[in-house]
Structure 1
Amino acid sequence: MAVTKIWAVTDSVNRVLSYAANPDKTIYSDICKALHYASDERKTVIGEEKAMYVTGVNCTAETAFAEMKAVQERFDKTVGNVAYHAYQSFKTGEVTPQLAHKLGVELAKRMWGDQYQVLVATHFNTGTYHNHLVINSVNMWNGKKFNCNEGAYWKLRSISDELCKENGLTVIKNPKGKTPRKLYFAEKNDEPTRYNLMREAIDKALTMSTNLKTFTYVTKQLGYVIDLNPYHKYATIRSVNSKKATRLYRLGEGYDRDAIYDRMRDLLKNNSQEAYRLYYEFTEKKSFGVTIQKAHFVKGNLKTAKKITGLKALYFRYLYLLGVLPKNKKHKPLSPEMREACRWLDRHTAQVQLICDNHLTDIFSVEAFIKNADSEIKLISGYRKMLYRDIDSCHNPDEKAKLVAKRDDCTKALAQLRKDGKTAARIIEDNPKIKENILIEENMRSRYFGFNKSRKRGYER
Structure 2
Amino acid sequence: MAVVKRISSKAKVGKIEKYLKQEEKTEEKLISGMNCDSDNFAKQCEMTSMLYDKNQEKNDRKYYHIIQSFSPKDNDKLTLEQAHKIGEKFAEKNFKGYEVLIVTHKDKEHIHNHFVVNSVSLENGKKYRADNKSLWQLRRTSNELCKENNLTNSIQPLDRRSKEKITSGELRKMVRGEDTWKSDLKAQITECARTSNTIEEFKNRMKEKYNVEVTERVRTSKGQKSTIYQYKGEGFNKPCGDFRLGEEYKKEYIENGIIRRSEEKARGKDTRTNAGQSAGAEQRTPRPITTEEVVRADNYLARRNNQNAEKVDKQVDERIRSHRQQREDFERVNRETKTGRNQSQGTRADREPSHEKNQGIERER
TM-score by length of 2: 0.51
Q: Does the CA contact (< 8 Å) of 1:176 and 1:250 recur in 2?
A: no
Assess, with a 3 A threshold, how the Cα gap between structure 1 residues 17 and 175 changes in structure 2: closer, same or farther. Answer: farther
Partner residue in 1 for 2:72: 92
1:53-64 to structure 2, matched below 5 A, reads 53-64=30-41
- SS of 2:40's equivalent in the other structure is helix
Q: Does the CA contact (< 8 Å) of 1:100 and 1:129 recur in 2?
A: yes
Partner residue in 2 for 1:4: 4
Letter in 2 for 1:62: D
Partner residue in 2 for 1:246: 286
Partner residue in 1 for 2:51: 74
Q: Cα distance, 1:76 vs. partner?
A: 1.4
Asked if residue 83 in structure 1 is aligned to residue 63 in structure 2, the reply is yes
Q: Does the CA contact (< 8 Å) of 1:248 and 1:256 recur in 2?
A: no
Assess, with a 3 A threshold, how the Cα gap between structure 1 residues 184 and 125 changes in structure 2: closer, same or farther. Answer: farther
Assess, with a 3 A threshold, how the Cα gap between structure 1 residues 135 and 241 changes in structure 2: closer, same or farther. Answer: farther
Task: Select the residue among 139, 144, 151 that pairs with 2:121.
Answer: 139
1:35-434 to structure 2, matched below 5 A, reads 42-43=27-28, 52-79=29-56, 80-95=60-75, 96=78, 97-113=80-96, 115-168=97-150, 169-170=152-153, 171-173=155-157, 174=160, 176-179=162-165, 181=182, 183-187=185-189, 189-191=191-193, 192=202, 201=260, 205=264, 213-214=272-273, 216=275, 220=278, 225=279, 243=283, 245-247=285-287, 252=292, 260=328
Distance 1:242 1:262 in 2: 17
User: Any stretches of 5+ residues in structure 1 without a counterpart?
Assistant: 27-41, 44-51, 226-239, 265-461
Assess, with a 3 A threshold, how the Cα gap between structure 1 residues 250 and 261 changes in structure 2: closer, same or farther. Answer: closer
Q: Cα distance, 1:178 vs. partner?
A: 2.8
Q: Give structure 1 regions of 4+ aligned residues with deviation exceeding 6 angstroms.
A: 256-259, 261-264
- SS of 2:24's equivalent in the other structure is helix
Distance 2:163 2:33 in 1: 30
Q: Cα distance, 1:157 vs. partner?
A: 1.2
Q: Does the CA contact (< 8 Å) of 1:209 and 1:215 recur in 2?
A: no
Question: How many equivalent residue pairs?
Answer: 220
Assess, with a 3 A threshold, how the Cα gap between structure 1 residues 59 and 130 changes in structure 2: closer, same or farther. Answer: same
Q: Does the CA contact (< 8 Å) of 2:70 and 2:110 recur in 1?
A: yes
Letter in 1 for 2:135: Y
Assess, with a 3 A threshold, how the Cα gap between structure 1 residues 165 and 197 changes in structure 2: closer, same or farther. Answer: farther
Q: Cα distance, 1:104 vs. partner?
A: 1.9
- SS of 1:72's equivalent in the other structure is helix
Structure label with greater radius of gyration:
1
Assess, with a 3 A threshold, how the Cα gap between structure 1 residues 241 and 98 changes in structure 2: closer, same or farther. Answer: farther
Distance 1:165 1:204 in 2: 42
Q: Cα distance, 1:133 vs. partner?
A: 0.7
Q: Cα distance, 1:145 vs. partner?
A: 0.7
Q: Cα distance, 1:127 vs. partner?
A: 2.9
Distance 2:115 2:139 in 1: 13
Q: Does the CA contact (< 8 Å) of 1:20 and 1:134 recur in 2?
A: no
Q: Does the CA contact (< 8 Å) of 1:6 and 1:85 recur in 2?
A: yes
Distance 2:9 2:130 in 1: 11
Q: Does the CA contact (< 8 Å) of 2:256 and 2:288 recur in 1?
A: no
Distance 1:241 1:105 in 2: 54
Q: Does the CA contact (< 8 Å) of 2:21 and 2:103 recur in 1?
A: yes
Q: Cα distance, 1:257 vs. partner?
A: 9.1
Assess, with a 3 A threshold, how the Cα gap between structure 1 residues 161 and 242 changes in structure 2: closer, same or farther. Answer: farther
Distance 1:108 1:126 in 2: 22
TM-score by length of 1: 0.41
Q: CA RMSD in A?
A: 3.7
Q: Does the CA contact (< 8 Å) of 2:5 and 2:67 recur in 1?
A: yes
Distance 2:274 2:103 in 1: 49
User: Any stretches of 5+ residues in structure 2 without a counterpart?
Assistant: 167-181, 194-201, 203-248, 293-319, 333-365
Distance 1:66 1:203 in 2: 62
Percent sequence identity over matched residues? Answer: 24
Q: Does the CA contact (< 8 Å) of 1:13 and 1:65 recur in 2?
A: yes
